[in-house]
């Protein structure tokens, strides 16, 4: 498989993964009364409005070239909690929507991988590889975003169950949280913390859908 094919195989699941994740946040916020994302043109499956050029392109490519692994982020969809009908409760649902969308996409990519296995052709091989990439990408996006570290989605869910003042202070830590998450990733601590559970989860997903996996 050529380098161009490999890049295309991973690019499609990555762009879809981050795009649908952000649209899910904005769509749920819209359903709960906040049209900020819609007004900003972010309720679109066009990936360009969701791309953060540093976090989505420059940093991941640099990390792959130098470290062989990557971490990145998309441009956060704007949400105005004051426009939600029940700000604390609704913000938790808005946060959960992102990882939930990745879970649904994981299932969809597993179906594509099964289709690829059924096709005895080069196109089938590409479909299978893309399906595997989709499972991996969406597993990472789902599990990583569920960590309760600001500004990850899990922190918003945690804040919902903390006393209001403590929850507010915890979310304010988000201005430093991304630096902390990136630092932990670069020194290996974050990968060491979630690496084995992540690999186990991806392996279990392949087994559940009857798919062979290169990590097994």
Which residue shows structure tokens 């990590």?
215
Which tokens is 119 given?
């096709």
> Cβ atoms within 10 A of the Cβ of 88, count?
16
Which tokens is 150 given?
């600001």
d(CA 133, CA 151): 25
Q: What is the DSSP letter of 56?
A: I
9-46: b (≥16 Cβ within 10 Å) or e: bbebbbbbbbbbbbbbbbbbbbebebebbeeeebbeee
d(CA 144, CA 149): 10
Catalytic residues: 22
Give residue 41's Cα distance to chain centre.
20
Cβ–Cβ under 8 Å, residues 71 and 63: yes
d(CA 96, CA 154): 8
d(CA 4, CA 89): 45
């Amino acid at each position: 498989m050529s380098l161009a094919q490999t890049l295309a195989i991973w690019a499609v699941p990555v762009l879809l993964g981050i795009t649908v994740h952000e649209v899910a946040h904005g769509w749920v916020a819209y359903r709960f009364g906040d049209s900020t994302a819609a007004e900003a043109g972010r309720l679109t499956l066009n990936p360009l409005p969701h791309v953060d050029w540093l976090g989505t392109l420059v940093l991941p490519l640099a990390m792959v070239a130098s470290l062989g692994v990557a971490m990145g982020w998309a441009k956060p969809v704007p949400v105005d909690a004051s426009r939600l009908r029940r700000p604390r409760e609704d913000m938790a649902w808005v946060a959960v929507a992102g990882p939930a969308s990745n879970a649904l996409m994981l299932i969809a990519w597993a179906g594509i991988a099964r289709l690829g296995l059924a096709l005895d052709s080069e196109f089938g091989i590409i479909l299978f590889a893309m399906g595997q990439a989709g499972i991996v990408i969406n597993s990472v996006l789902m599990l990583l975003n569920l960590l309760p570290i600001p500004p990850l989605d899990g922190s918003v869910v945690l804040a919902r169950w903390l006393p209001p003042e403590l929850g507010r202070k915890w979310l304010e830590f988000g201005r430093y949280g991304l630096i902390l998450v990136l630092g932990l990733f670069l020194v290996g601590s974050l990968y060491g913390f979630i690496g084995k559970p992540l690999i186990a989860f991806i392996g279990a997903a392949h087994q559940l859908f009857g798919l062979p996996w290169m990590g097994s």
